[in-house]
Amino acid sequence: MEVTEGTITVEVPEQPESGVGDDVFFNPRQELNRDITAAVLDVWRDRTGAQTYLDATAASGIRGVRAAASGWDATCCDHDERAVERCRENFARNELGGTAVHRDANAYMHESRFDVVDLDPFGTPIPFADSAFRSARELVCVTATDTAPLCGAHFESGVRSYSAVPHNTDFHPEMGLRVLLSALARTAARYDVGVTPVLSHVTRHYVRTYLELDHRATDANAAIDELGYVDHCEDCLYRTTSQGLIADPFDACPNCASARISTAGPLWLGPAHDADFVTAVRERVTEAFDTATRARRLLDTIATEIDTPTHYDQHRLSKQWSVSAIGMDEFLDRLEHAGFDASRAHYGGTTFKTDANVAQIERATVRT
Piece of 131-139, 229-237, 339-347, 360-368 that binds Zn ion (CB under 5 A): 229-237
Residue 341 interacting entry, from ligand SAM, Zn ion, none, C-beta within 5 to 8 Å by type: none
Q: Are 295 and 278 in contact (CB under 8 A)?
A: no
Q: Which is nearer to ligand SAM, 19 or 254 (CB)?
A: 19
Residue 201 interacting entry, from ligand SAM, Zn ion, none, C-beta within 5 to 8 Å by type: none
Which residues in 22-41 contact ligand SAM (CB under 6 A)?
A: 25-27, 30, 34
Residue 122 interacting entry, from Zn ion, ligand SAM, none, C-beta within 5 to 8 Å by type: ligand SAM
Residue 29 has what DSSP assignment? G
Among residues 83, 84, 141, 236, the one that binds Zn ion under rule CB under 5 A: 236
Contacts of 264 (CB under 8 A, 6+ apart): 152, 164, 165, 166, 167, 169, 175, 179, 229, 230, 232
Is there binding between residue 255 and Zn ion (CB under 5 A)? Answer: yes
Q: Please name every residue paired with 102 in a beta bridge, in sequence order, or none if there are none.
A: 78
What are the Cα distances from residue 143, in Å, to 2, 35, 211, 263, 365?
24, 14, 11, 25, 36
Q: How far is the CB of 18 from ligand SAM (least distance, A)?
A: 10
Rounded CA gap, 257 and 248, in Å? 17
Give the β-pairing of 99-102 and 351-354: unpaired
Residue 112 interacting entry, from Zn ion, ligand SAM, none, C-beta within 5 to 8 Å by type: none
Is there binding between residue 264 and Zn ion (CB under 5 A)? Answer: no
How far from chain centre, in Å, is Cα 134? 20
Is there binding between residue 238 and Zn ion (CB under 5 A)? Answer: yes
Q: Which is nearer to ligand SAM, 58 or 230 (CB)?
A: 58
Is there binding between residue 258 and Zn ion (CB under 5 A)? Answer: yes
Q: Is the peptide bond before 173 cis (omega within 30 degrees of 0)?
A: no
Q: How far is the CB of 337 from ligand SAM (least distance, A)?
A: 44
What are the Cα distances from residue 174, in Å, to 28, 111, 123, 201, 356?
24, 34, 18, 9, 17
Is there binding between residue 59 and ligand SAM (CB under 6 A)? Answer: yes
Q: Please name every residue paired with 186 in a beta bridge, in sequence order, or none if there are none.
A: none
Q: How far is the CB of 331 from ligand SAM (least distance, A)?
A: 37
Strand order in the sheet with 239-243: 239-243, 227-233, 261-268
Among residues 32, 41, 63, 237, the one that binds ligand SAM under rule CB under 6 A: 63
Piece of 79-87, 203-211, 285-293, 327-335 that binds ligand SAM (CB under 6 A): 79-87
Q: Are 33 and 63 in contact (CB under 8 A)?
A: no
Q: How far is the CB of 78 from ligand SAM (least distance, A)?
A: 4
Q: Which is nearer to Zn ion, 222 or 256 (CB)?
A: 256
The residue of the chain with the least Cβ separation from ligand SAM equals: 57
Q: Which residues bind ligand SAM (CB under 6 A)?
A: 25-27, 30, 34, 57-60, 62-63, 77-80, 83, 104-106, 120-122
